[in-house]
Structure 1
Amino acid sequence: MNRVDAFKHIAAQAGRGELAFPANVAASLKLQQALNDPDCHADTAVKLIQADPLLAARTVAIANSVAYNRSGTEISGVRSAVQRLGVRTLQSLVASLIVRQLGSKLTDPDLQAKAAQLWEHTAHVAALAQVIARRVAQVDPDTALFAGIIHEVGGFYMLARAAEYPGIMDGDPEDWIAHGETEIGRGVLRKLAVPDPVTQAIEAMWTGMRALPPENLGDTLLLANDLAPVDSPLHQPQGATTRASARTIDFAVGDGTLEAILRESADEVKSLYAVLML
């Protein structure tokens, strides 16, 4: 089976909901389902988070990040962190755990490198999207953070399946974009029960159409993607010239500019990125 046929085969499986997740993802999916329940009480969320030491550490860390700790008062317990963050941010943290778990069992060095770079890219996009949403687009920042974290989840799923199809991730990235990214991405997003507005924003990234200044979540993700200093390894590299051009994107925002806002928010972006890279 050649690369294109392999992408089409996996895409067809994803379209039918026939997704094969690594065993370590199952518990995280159950946790996400519990947090998605509108009747999920804070005490329940605390117990669920405490049951996973890594997630507990990340929860406290993001609660103490510059973006969420405006008062400068650090906390050390999961309960206090949950109260500060709220369930929606916890959903983002669980999503980040699921995404990283998809690439955690890779043994091939090339696939490991791709997964590591893809997560670096994802963490930058998520951190930038949160700040751009809050300071520029007037979009819900928690939703933007969540969308940034999962915007490449289809790619992580493909990397997790790549060992079954030797060489599938070698060669022209356009094969992945043309024959796998959309259908596989949609299938994984459905499995994760991602809300329609977030799915639609991620689909807008696949078409590449946006408005400046950003007017909605899709525009916010695309701008964050352009500004991210690390490329996705599953797409054609932007290259120094394209990235330099992206970094010069500027426009008026109220009495300021995008460049000024990003400069003022650099510590927030750096702090969020650091937590996501834990």
Structure 2
Amino acid sequence: MTDTHNALIESLVQLIEDKGLSLPTLPDVALQVRAIAENHDSSAHDLAAAIARDPAIAARLVQIANSPLYRGLAEITSLPQIVTRLGMRTISQLVVSITMQQSFRAHTPIIQQRMRRHWEYSTQVSALSQMLARKHRHLDPDQALLAGLTHAIGALPVYAIAEDLPKLMHHPELLDQLAGELQPRLGGQILHAWGFPEPLVDVVVKCQNLQRDHQGPPDYVDVVIVATLQARNDQASPENNWVGVPAAEKLGVDTGASPLADEMDEIMKAMLG
């Protein structure tokens, strides 16, 4: 580790300590939708009415409902139909996922680019996670989708606060490295603050450990570990060495297999809007 690296780490950590980690709150529409979905007395009409107040989210849900993730025999366009097809819990998770993209803001091109790239990568991991979970009855595919989408969310506050460190802005590769190093701790704090379930917090904290092993069937951490490796499968990197990765063995996946390109493109388009 170079002196420059050490100095920038110290500067970044000091800045976080001085300013505090400003955790964004979930947008009102996400909080309203989640509250309705968790209320057993709520109806599909109640949920559809709440979503209709945000046309952008409503339009995105139409895209997602007709994507390979959830597509049925016929195309659907109305919110009540979408709630019926996907279910209230899934709708709630998707709205949270969509609004997370709006929770972190960047003002400089270099940070905007990295946040966009981060969101695209996380979206790919989320789609792969859902596909993997569908093959295991004890796993909820929609929970896996949200786990994939949030697994690296701790990198976003690092990118956001880095705008106050001009020296770090001149070392973008180092910035990416620092974001990766700090994302488990910061991501855990964010999900705790947002009231996410413990299994999703576990994913954020543990998914970088490719040698993680445990007793019992595969869990969401295993799913996201494999999904991240699949997402990077086209990159020549030592990170992509699958040999001896317990999660891959537990899930019984073909480590060289990739999802159909057309299907992934359609899913990405629907999720990213």
TM-score (structure 2 length as normaliser):
0.78
Asked if residue 146 in structure 1 is aligned to residue 146 in structure 2, the reply is: yes
Residues 127-169 of structure 1 show CA distances to partners (whole Å, capped at 9, x for unaligned) of: 1000011126852101100111111222123323333333446
In 1: Cα distance, 2:161 partner to 2:111 partner:
10
The residue number in structure 2 matching 1:218 is: 221
**Contact preservation (8 Å) 2:159, 2:179:** no
For 2:210, the equivalent position in structure 1 comes to 208
1:43: which partner in 2?
45
Cα displacement string for residues 215-274 of structure 1 (whole angstroms, at most 9, x for unaligned residues)? 1110110100011149xxxxxxx942447755xx987978xx6369755x6555443222
- Kindly tell me: are residues 174 and 270 of structure 1, through their superposed partners in 2, closer, same or farther at Cα, counting changes over 3 Å? closer
Query: What does residue 85 of structure 2 align with?
Result: 84
**Residue pairs, 1:48-63, within 5 angstroms:** 48-63=50-65
The within-5 A match list for 1:108-257 is 108-135=108-135, 139-168=139-168, 170=171, 171-172=173-174, 173-178=176-181, 180-210=182-212, 215-229=218-232, 239-242=235-238
Measured in 1, the distance between the counterparts of 2:256 and 2:36 equals: 36
- Say which structure, 1 or 2, has more relative contact order (CA 8 Å, 6+ apart): 1
Query: What is the CA–CA distance in structure 1 between the aligned matches of 2:188 and 2:16, rounded to whole Å?
Result: 9
Please tell me whether the aligned partners of residues 60 and 270 of structure 2 are also in contact (alpha carbons under 8 angstroms).
yes
Following the alignment from structure 2 to structure 1, what is the Cα–Cα distance between the partners of residues 17 and 189?
Answer: 9
- Report the CA distance shift for 1:13/1:153 in structure 2 as closer, same or farther (over 3 A): farther
Residue 135 to residue 266, structure 1, CA distance change in 2 (3 Å):
farther
Q: Distance in 2 between matches of 1:125 and 1:144?
A: 10
Instruction: Tell me the distance in 2 between the aligned counterparts of 1:65 and 1:51.
Output: 23
Distance in 1, Cα, partners of 2:250 & 2:209:
25
- Alpha carbon RMSD of aligned pairs, Å? 3.5
The residue identity in structure 2 corresponding to 1:220 is: V
What is the one-letter code of the residue matched to 1:21?
P
Query: One-letter code of the match for 1:98?
Result: T
TM norm structure 1: 0.77
1:96 and 1:240 map into 2 onto residues whose CA distance is 30
1:33-85 Cα deviation digits (max 9, x unpaired): 4256343432221111111111101111111112212x321111111011111
**Alpha carbons 1:55, 1:93 under 8 Å: kept:** no
SS in structure 2 of the partner of residue 101 of structure 1: coil
The one-letter amino acid of 1:46's match is A
Aligned-residue offset at 1:107:
2.3
Among candidates 246, 271, 274, match of residue 269 of structure 2: 274
Distance in 2, Cα, partners of 1:150 & 1:141: 14
> Which segments of structure 1 move beyond 6 Å, counting only runs of 4 or more?
249-254
Indicate the residue corresponding to 1:8 in structure 2: 13
CA distance in structure 2 between the partners assigned to 1:61 and 1:224 by the alignment: 23
* Residues in 2 aligned to 1:11 and 1:184: alpha-carbon distance in whole angstroms: 11
Alignment of 1:90-109 (within 5 A): 90-103=91-104, 105-109=105-109
Deviations 1:77-120 (A, max 9, x none): 111011111122223322222331134x4221110110111011
Secondary structure at 1:207's aligned position in 2? coil
**How has the CA–CA distance of structure 1 residues 93 and 84 changed in structure 2, closer, same or farther, with 3 Å as cutoff?**
same
Unaligned runs of 5+ in 1: 231-237
